[in-house]
Amino acid sequence: MDSGAEAASSPDRSRPVARGRIAGRRRAAGIYGAIVTAAILTAAGGRIPTGALAVAVVVTLIVYWAAEEYAELLGQQVERGKLPTARHVRTELAVTWPMVSASYGPLLALLVAWLAGASDTFAANTALVVAVVLLVYHAWSAGRAAQLRGRQLIVTTCSAAVLGILMIVLKNFVLLHLH
């Protein structure tokens, strides 16, 4: 048996598995947060004032984060047959907070662009570009963590870039042609 399999199956070595699961959940939460942030910027950017857009992003992400964790904890309760402890709830909430914190960079870009005199639409587009860059970074980082190399890493990273570019194109198409 190799040492990786031993670490995964041995009770006294379960910490690396738990750390890997936590790192995976944090990464997934960050990716989801970047996607939701980009989606809100796509749907509402330029249609509502910049301040309201920033609040909408944060409030929406907090609601999604709370709903996601409620569903996860409820599922764990059903699976385990008992209520989670307060400590477990706090830990789970902390692990997935990147869903909300993923919006910080794009929101900073949004507010800086707006304070520099950009229009609501330009500020939203600036934030959307930052959200897409964040999404691409998350995809590249996840690929590297999964030890992807070469073509697999490029495909993983480019998939996120294509998703982000589609959001930008969709946003601008809707604003220019359907608004």
3-state SS, residue 2 = coil
Look at the block and give the residue holding tokens 């587009």. Answer: 125
Structure confidence by residue, pLDDT tens digits, 110-121: 999 999 999 999
CB 124 within 8 A of CB 50: yes
CB 33 within 8 A of CB 137: no
**Token pair of 164 as six digits:** 């982000």
Q: How confident is the model at residue 175 (pLDDT cuts 50, 70, 90)?
A: low
- Whether pTM > 0.75 for this model: the answer is yes
Domains of the chain, by residue range, sit at: 15-178
